[in-house]
Amino acid sequence: MSPSKLFLGLLLSGSFWLTSPAVMSATFALSTETNAPLYRTELPLEVYQYTRQDNLSDIVITNAAGEQVPYALLAKSLAHISQAPINKSITLPIFALQADTLDHITVSGAEDLRLQLEKTAGKTTVTISQSSKVRDPKTGSAGMVYLLDAGKKHPDFQKLILDWAQTESKMIAVEVLASDDLNHWNSVGQGILLKTSNAAGSILQNTIKLTSPITRRYIQLHSTNSAQAFTLTRVEAESVAVSNQVPKLLWQTLANPKRMDDAKSGKSTIEFEANGHLPAEFVRVKLPENNTITTAKISVRNKVSEPWRTVISTSVYRMVESNASGQNIEITNPDISIYATVARYWQLEFNNATGGIGAANPTIALGWPMQVIIWNARGNSPFKLQIDESESGEPVIANHLNIENLIPDFKLEKLEQLPFAQIKLQNSQVSATAKTTENTWSTPEDHKRWWLWGGLLLGVLVLVGMVLSLLKSSDYNKTKQ
């Protein structure tokens, strides 16, 4: 083969590598119903699945002419404006009564039961009188109910925080009722009490969130199962003067778990892979079997060759209890709060010595506050949000500004007045030769590197061809001589 043919073949081969980038791109349509100069848009889950940048720096917004328009990605403190809640709590007096006491109250509520609450500057005096004997709260039994007096005037109670004597780590189903006259009672909530600890950790479930605020004077607490005895020692009623605005959360469940059980160490690890750059701030772990209490260690890494980095180790549980009506009430651990973490691989580790999880696999979901983008509607519609890379594989140069530069004399009041522009995934593209079609964590082909290596190889082959040509020419001359 002549050096010229060899050079042509390598050139065609290099052209093949250049025209087969393994990249993903997505286009989102932005709908604008007014002619406002600025809009705000809440970024959906798909944006995080297509971006290759942890900070969303590969986002581009264009108008009908294809021109980029400026935008600003709001900080979380601005995207989710909220006020800190002002919690007001009151410790309520507790009266332990026999279960049938309240059934014999007269219409006036005065002949069989009388409650009197006297408050002075130095102390609060509570007296109770009834025809039946009042039980000491320290000797609670399964046939007891607990009566609380909140007073004639009090704020609306949103939840109750209870404390009770230890009851063999059993779950106690409790019902809460409210009344103004001790005759007519309305159910305002149900809950499960649980206080336990073992090698896996400790669990304290002592809060009952009410289905409707308590505005009435009297509150009744009792177990829905007559076989469950508990001794109530303290009740704290809490009201919220200023409600906190909970930010909208996006959730993504991680699929395709890979489990490894080590019989020697007694540990079970389950690995998951995120299908996008998800800025997780909450982790939701759901155990596969009921009545499980254990400890989970959550770790992350971005490459298989890297060591695992521990994010948090915490107690997780899933408990089920049936109430008096036969309904199952499930208690699970709350969502686990973590520092904002973007990672490709997530691992759950359980130790059978501290409970284990059984044969089935748990599930894990990542959650984070929805991010808001403010953009300038310059030019004509339709406007598009694109996530793409340049032909060279390098990130695009986005027209990304700070919010102060986008909105003159920026104030929170101006932000709240901006209209919303809805966003919808319009189309997505994946090259046919891409190594992956679903995960943006895979690094796209570095075409400059291929050209460099191709050029070096071409140079070596050309030199080899020249040497061979010279050798042949030298041999021919010697033979001729």
The most confident of 46-55, 132-141, 407-416, by mean pLDDT: 46-55
> Both 322 and 365 in a single domain?
yes
> Both 93 and 233 in a single domain?
yes
Q: Could you tell me if residue 437 is inside a domain?
A: no
State residue 134's pLDDT score: 45
Both structure tokens of 359: 């044969």
> Both 215 and 93 in a single domain?
yes
Least reliable range by pLDDT among 49-58, 87-96, 389-398: 389-398
Q: Which percentage of the chain shows pLDDT scores above 90? A: 11
> Both 133 and 208 in a single domain?
yes
pLDDT at 144 > cutoff 80? no
| Verdict on whether the full-model pTM lies above 0.75 | no
Last residue of a domain, one of 320, 340, 369: 369
State residue 411's pLDDT score: 76
How much is the average pLDDT of 126-141? Answer: 48
> Both 222 and 285 in a single domain?
no
Q: Is the peptide bond before 213 cis (omega within 30 degrees of 0)?
A: no
> Both 127 and 221 in a single domain?
yes
Q: What CATH code is carried by the domain that includes residue 306?
A: 2.60.120
| Residue 474: domain span | 1-20+445-481
Q: Could you tell me if residue 439 is inside a domain?
A: no
| Tens of pLDDT, residues 265-318 | 888 899 999 988 999 999 999 999 888 888 889 999 999 889 999 999 888 888
Last residue of a domain, one of 327, 349, 369: 369
> Both 235 and 91 in a single domain?
yes
Q: Which distant-in-sequence residues (6+ apart) come within 8 Å of 467 by Cβ?
A: none
The count of other CB atoms within 10 Å of the CB of residue 318 is 20
pLDDT at 236 > cutoff 90? no
CA 327 vs. chain centroid, Å, equals 28
Enclosing H/E stretch for 280: strand 280-286
- Using pLDDT thresholds of 50, 70 and 90, give the confidence band for residue 6: very low
Both structure tokens of 370: 């929805």
pLDDT at 445 > cutoff 50? no
State residue 308's pLDDT score: 94
State residue 429's pLDDT score: 60
Domains identified in the chain, total number? 4
- Using pLDDT thresholds of 50, 70 and 90, give the confidence band for residue 477: low
Assess contact for 388 and 58: CB atoms under 8 A: yes
> Both 91 and 233 in a single domain?
yes
Least reliable range by pLDDT among 18-22, 83-87, 165-169, 201-205: 18-22
State residue 232's pLDDT score: 85
What is d(CA 269, CA 84) in angstroms, rounded to the nearest whole number?
39
Residue 339's nearest CA partner among 83, 76, 86 is 76
What is d(CA 282, CA 262) in angstroms, rounded to the nearest whole number?
28
| Tens of pLDDT, residues 310-351 | 999 888 888 877 665 667 777 788 899 999 999 999 999 988
pLDDT at 56 > cutoff 80? yes
pLDDT at 29 > cutoff 70? yes
